[in-house]
Chain A
Amino acid sequence: MKAITKYILASSVVAVLTVTLFGLYSLDQYHDNEVRNEREKLETCIRTFWQLLAHKGTDYRIVKGELLAGNYPVNGNFELPDKIQELFGGVATIFMGDERVTTNVLNVDAKRALGTRLLGPAYDAIFNQGKSYRGNAAILGVTYLTAYDPIRDSKGKVIGALFVGVKESDFLARLHVLNVHLTLTLSSMVALFAIFMVVLGRAMRRVEEKNESAEDATKDAYQQLLDIVDFLPDATFVVDKDKRVIAWNRAIEIMTGLEKHEVLGADDYAYAIPFYGERRPILIDLLGESQEVISHDYKCIKKEGRTLFTEAFVPSFRNGDSRCFWATASPLLDKQGNMVGAIESIRDITEYKQAEEEKIRLESQLDHARLMETVMMRLGHDLKTPLTPLFIMLPLIRKRLTDPDLLNKVDMCIKSAASINNLVDKTRRLATLSSSVKPQEQEGVSLAFLVDRAHADCVEMISQKQIDIQNNIDPAVVIHCVPAQLHELFINLISNAVHFSSEKGVITVSAELDAESVTISVRDEGVGLDPAHLDHVFDEFFKADDSRHDLDALGLGLTICRRIVQNHYGRIWAESAGTGKGTTIRFTIKIS
């Protein structure tokens, strides 16, 4: 006998034994399980019986030879046993003393088995020991899986018993059917196993003989592998041990424009041509080379196990574009660990690289902006100190002067110092406003109320010019914002409008609502704006007239306005029909 056949025979025997033992074990488990289930059902059954009885009355007593539950007569009353049969299909009896006084058990004459007595271990348990009884019991010659509970009167004396039962023969019959099923299942499993073994044995013989069909299977598997490579999302190619291209997938066809039929089977570094325009070693050729050779060819290369990773810059790819590629190459090994080929995947990461560089550039800009913010804050602070003596001394000097010409000059100095101070304040303000507002800083405020507050704060300059300010905003409109910033925004807009209005002019503040935001406009009838200036009024230090040195109107107010609106993710712009025709500043802000 051949070794393989012996092996199969032995395996079969072991398998059959295992399956049989497992089957028997399962059957045993199943039997126990069934008994447990039956017992549980029995308990449910007797519990229900008790509940039904308790529903009639819980005071059990014997009056004039009759068992009563409360005032419910039990003797000869079949309502409850029949209910149990209806619910569970089992038998049920109530004993007064040891005598059956109501039952659904029928005797051989198909009449209810009343008047008969309780006997055996159940009797002993109930009446001698006062305990419940569970187990098998013979009732009128039939064996039952039974449950007996004692009925006690108010003094605790046993005056009867409650009984439910299922015929054990039902249960056994079910077990028998189960047995047949299991035997059938076991037999078929053994048979299937035997067939499987035979098939396996034949297959093994084929392997031993290395017949042709096995080679076919290998070829199929190989073709499947090539198909998988073909559909890989990354540009991928595979070479055999002589560096001949054996797979060139769709993604690499698209990347290089070089089709399969042009490159499959080619050797002598043909795969390098689309990338470098010449035949030369690339990443895949460095597999198995020493570290020095690898580091010499690529500046940035990583090795994990036998796999290589690199990023390569290709200065003139296809249309002469420079591209950046990420590539990985792995050897293909046979079972003995010999290298039989290699695979390389290439990904164009040019856009990703550009995004990365852009990110670094933006981060450094942000750093610089932060630095400038700190510098502005510090500078603003330090300018205040030398301004203080000017603020104190200039008025003192002015008091001593009588010459109108000198008075005029000192006034210019005082005004100039005030302008510097104003400019310092605005600059510092702009620097502190340089970051977007955080949700936790925001609260809901009535827009109309914000306008009224700003109006009140500007009341001095408004009344000087006798300007009429009309607030047309519905007080019910609530916006989500940093109130202090919006307050400052309205002060700037209103004071700006006042500044550019003529005496007794009208300034109108209104709001238009749409689904998500509100557009607020502040309109004056003042000097208006040249259309060429509309886009520039929010620029830092913008002045409509370069030749004017109007120190009061140093252009940071609208820049601060733009900053505040942007901090709230809104937009601000200016509209004007032209010089002399008034100006409207509009901005959007999200409603809460």
Chain B
Amino acid sequence: MDAKVMLVDDEEMIRESVELFFESEGIKILTAASGDDCLDYLEEGFRGVILMDVMMPEMNGWDTIRKIVESDLYEGNIIVMLTALDSPDNKMDGIQEYVTDYLTKPFNPDELMEVLQYYFSLLNAVEPGDGQ
């Protein structure tokens, strides 16, 4: 799978705008409209940076992370939460360790690029085929 970044958000407008932005930067991106879609992509072999919305209907961001961990699909991924809240909420008890960073909505393209490039460099450093 080519894409190294996946956006999980139930809002179509956000998915489309983020997708447009990444395309303009020449970065391939997968977009998932729900936690289930996200899990499907992971099953198919996606590994990279996952931008995960917290508030989603049916399965929220925290529950999705729990599923990812339980299904042994966490390895090789970096999870960045997208949140509109100023402060972390109590629903994340026990899974904070799987969340590497937070981005507060609304985020601008510069913030997004900065975060992504940093974690891309981290992922490359541990890339198994890299020979390091």
A→B interface (CB under 8 Å)? 380-382, 384-393, 395-396, 399, 417, 421, 425, 428-429
Contact = CB atoms under 8 A, between A and B. Distances in A.
Contact of A392 (B55, B85, B86, B108): B108
B17 A389 contact: yes
A389 B105 contact: no
Contacts of B16: 389
Contacts of A384: 84, 105-106
Given A396-B20, A396-B21, A396-B24, A385 B108 contact: no
A388 B85 contact: no
Given A381-B84, A381-B85, A428-B86, A387 B105 contact: yes
B86 A389 contact: no
Contacts of B55: 381
B11 interface: yes
Contacts, number: 57
Nearest to A420: B106
9 nearest A-B pairs in the assembled complex, by CB-CB distance:
A384-B84, A389-B17, A391-B106, A387-B106, A388-B106, A384-B105, A392-B17, A389-B13, A391-B108
B73 to A, nearest CB: 26
Interface residues of B, number: 20
Nearest to B12: A389
Interface string B1-27: 000000000010110111011001000
Nearest to B104: A384
A380 B84 CA distance: 8
B109 A392 contact: yes
Interface of B: 11, 13-14, 16-18, 20-21, 24, 55, 84-86, 105-110, 112
A569 B96 CA distance: 37
Nearest to A428: B86
Helix, strand, loop or mixed for chain B's interface?
A: helix
Nearest to A417: B106
Q: Which of A393, A421, A428 has the most CB of B within 10 A?
A: A393
B16 to A, nearest CB: 7
Contacts of A385: 11, 13-14, 84, 105
Contacts of B86: 425, 428-429
Given A388-B105, A392-B20, 4 more contacts: A381-B55, A384-B84, A389-B17, A417-B106
Contacts of B105: 384-385, 387-388
Nearest to A388: B106
Nearest to B83: A384
Nearest to B55: A381
Contact of B18 (A381, A387, A392, A395): A392
A384 B55 CA distance: 12
Contacts of A428: 86
Contacts of B24: 396, 399
A385 B84 CA distance: 8
B106 to A, nearest CB: 4
A386 B84 CA distance: 11
A392 B112 contact: yes
Nearest to B87: A432
